[in-house]
């Protein structure tokens, strides 16, 4: 398969190097286009008011991998790859392997998920891979699962276009309980802005967040509510696979809002 890989941890991150080299090793045609520096928690931001620069890099990846570094955001990287750098459209867009989990509502801020989502916006099936630890550098299990999952994509294409958000527990392969198809959970934080003063006497703020207990979603179809959340399953040492889409319409409440008759705003 022709695979485009990006990330939000930057060109020198071990996660993307392990993933790109691992997929190239099993015969896939891999192109990397990723940020030239750390771009975590940038969401789906785009660069609109300054130029985007890109250049080919050598020696970081295996020779079979074509790699570009880009001055933009993760979403910029995928856009630039699809419309300027690649000669043909890839079969699959992958983001990761991220250093740290992308679970629950954290995906709204994730540059990793946003890079994969940009592929989905352009009608290309996509996967976001994350290792659920900020400190572990053991990517072998995540790479192995990525190889197997991509192989399934090649042999059994998805019936509907979607993004698969994959989180892998940061434990030894023998300790992984299995794989679960999950729904997106909720993670809430107590946001803390620490007020500081710089050497020139100017005030600035440093954002920190304390994770609260996970909160369950409540307004779901019964068949969906029975599925475990990604947050719950990763805690139980399962690899989680959560299907995502970019359409955020709250379909269940469309009928209720129509009853408001807000189109008659002159009444």
Q: Return d(Cα 53, Cα 73) in angstroms, integer.
A: 11
163-168 β-sheet, strand order: 54-57, 66-70, 29-35, 2-6, 92-99, 126-131, 163-168, 238-244, 178-181
Domain boundaries defined on the chain: 2-183+218-254
- pLDDT score, position 52: 95
The CA-based diameter of the chain, rounded to the nearest angstrom, is: 68
pLDDT, position 220: 55
Please state, for a pLDDT cut of 70, what percent of the chain lies above it. Answer: 91
Contact present, 127 and 164 (Cβ < 8 Å) = yes
- Reading the block at residue 125, the tokens are 């099936």
Residue 195 confidence (pLDDT): 87
For residue range 10-65, list pLDDT tens digits in order: 999 999 999 999 999 999 999 999 999 999 888 899 999 999 999 999 989 999 99
Looking at residue 65, what is its pLDDT? 97
- Spatial neighbors of 265 by CB under 8 A, at least 6 apart, are none
What pLDDT does residue 56 have? 96
What digits encode the pLDDT tens for the residues 94-141?
Answer: 999 999 999 998 999 999 999 999 999 999 999 999 999 999 989 999
Residue carrying structure tokens 């659920």: 132
Residue 76 has pLDDT above 90, yes or no: yes
Rounded distance between C-alpha atoms, residue 10 and residue 33, angstroms: 10
Band (255; pLDDT cuts 50, 70, 90): confident
Confidence of residue 1 (pLDDT cuts 50, 70, 90): very high
If you write DSSP's letter for every residue of 222-256 in order, what string do you get?
HHHHTSPBHHHHHHTTEEEEEEE-S----GGGHHH
**pLDDT band at residue 257 under the 50/70/90 scheme:** confident
Query: Has residue 253 got a pLDDT over 90?
Result: no
Helix (H, G, I), strand (E, B) or coil at 108: helix
According to CATH, what is the number of the domain 2-183+218-254? 3.40.1210.10
184-239 pLDDT, tens digit each = 988 877 767 888 999 999 998 887 766 665 655 555 555 556 788 999 999 999 99
* Amino acid 215: pLDDT: 56
Residue with tokens 């891979």: 129
Q: Lowest mean pLDDT: which of 50-59, 142-151, 154-163, 212-221?
A: 212-221
Residue 117 makes CB contacts below 8 A (sequence gap 6+) with 44, 75, 126, 128, 163, 244, 246
Residues 50, 55, 56, CA angle at the centre, nearest 5°?
160
- For residue 188, the model assigns a pLDDT of 76
């Amino acid at each position: 398969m022709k695979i485009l890989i990006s990330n939000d941890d930057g060109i020198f991150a071990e996660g993307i190097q392990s993933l790109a080299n691992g997929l190239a090793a099993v015969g896939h045609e891999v192109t990397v286009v990723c940020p030239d520096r750390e771009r975590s928690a940038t969401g789906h931001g785009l660069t609109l008011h300054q130029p985007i620069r890109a250049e080919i890099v050598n020696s970081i990846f295996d020779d079979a991998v074509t790699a570009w570094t880009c001055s933009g955001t993760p979403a910029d990287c995928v856009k630039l790859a699809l419309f300027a750098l690649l000669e043909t459209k890839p079969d699959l867009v992958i983001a990761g392997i991220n250093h740290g989990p992308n679970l629950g509502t954290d995906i709204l801020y994730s540059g990793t998920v946003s890079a994969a989502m940009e592929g989905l916006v352009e009608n290309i099936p996509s996967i976001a891979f994350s290792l659920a630890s900020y400190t572990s550098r053991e990517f072998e299990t995540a790479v192995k699962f990525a190889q197997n999952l991509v192989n399934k994509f090649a042999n059994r294409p998805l019936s509907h276009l979607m993004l698969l958000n994959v989180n892998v527990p940061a434990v030894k392969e023998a300790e992984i309980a299995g794989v679960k198809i999950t729904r997106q959970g909720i993670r809430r934080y107590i946001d803390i802005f620490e007020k500081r003063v710089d050497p020139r006497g100017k005030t600035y703020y440093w954002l920190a967040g304390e994770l609260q207990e996970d909160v369950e979603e409540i307004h779901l179809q019964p068949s969906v509510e029975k599925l475990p959340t990604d947050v719950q399953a990763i805690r139980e040492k399962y690899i989680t696979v959560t299907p995502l889409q970019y359409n955020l319409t709250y379909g269940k409440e469309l009928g209720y809002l129509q009853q408001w008759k807000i189109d008659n705003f002159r009444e």
